[in-house]
Amino acid sequence: MNTKITLLIFLFVSYLSINAQNNQPDINTNYEKPRSAFIGLSTGISSSNLRDFASSPLIYKGHPLYFAGSFMRVNENRETEIRISTLFGNYNISVGHENTSSKVNVYNFYYSRLYKFNKLGNDKWHIKIGGLYQLTYDYRINEALQNLSHGSEFFSNVMASAKFEFDASRKTNKEKNFLFIKYKTEPRKRNLSFRLNIGLINSTYRNAYAYLGQSGILNEFKLFDNYEFKLFSGIRMSTELNYTIYLKNKNAIQLSYIWDAYKTGGDNDKYEMAHHIFRLTFLFNANNK
């Protein structure tokens, strides 16, 4: 814990030092250049798994559906994004001839800020650094676990981020052939990016062990009975690969692959979850002009 606090203080002091420089700062925080605004609507599917040692050591796997809404402001120098998403579906496990299913709902709030790092890059590619905050809540129902059938957790994560962006735009008209058919391609703005997020402050709000509190004995069900908040508990990492195609009407289409994995702390009652999300996003230009 002391090591993490020391690292956070170092990063914060470094950030202040960088922004205190007047001659070409490492991080570009130029607020004058206009930013494009987009409203995003996303859909997709995930290959996910979870394991909760507090109730069972078995790994449950499923293919939940993914939906999200987002708002983003972006230019070459900086970007800000707010996103709300949900995953829901059945997670299953088969042992011999026995099949067990767990109904799972995951809700996620996401806020991100990134700034261009001037020391690296050129006209074709650049790097942005910054951070994001995520708040994730999941709720599960598994009737096979009887008095442990209901489970839920909160994950609160402050994460450091680095994003590599490559300009894959087509600058000129080109003539091509496909099965003896000639056609022309027009200039098109395209962007390829890869982002890495690493948790610095990973917090959880969870029952101490096996979701058993006094409310069950008193026949007064309380969802968060005997829950505990732990400030430094667990690990979270994620990556995001995006390919964005901008259309003539200033809207855009984005194809994404997202990997997100996180776990709580503890020994005998750890909780683990991972998602491989394949996402399609429609980005609608929200500028006034």
Closest residue by Cα to residue 274 from 101, 104, 113: 104
What confidence tens digit (pLDDT) does each residue in 89-146 have? Answer: 999 988 777 788 899 999 999 999 999 998 888 888 999 999 999 999 999 888 887 7
Q: For tokens 């790994």, what's the residue?
A: 59
pLDDT in tens, 245-281: 999 889 999 999 999 999 998 777 889 999 999 999 9
Longest Cα separation, the chain: 77
> CB 241: neighbour CB atoms within 10 A?
13
Domains in the chain, ordered, with CATH?
A: 2-19+27-285 (2.40.128.100)
CA distances from 27 to 76, 78, 156, 280 (A): 12, 9, 27, 31
Q: Which phi-psi region, left, alpha or beta, contains residue 274 (left: φ > 0; alpha: ψ -120 to 50)? A: beta
Three-state SS at 35:
coil
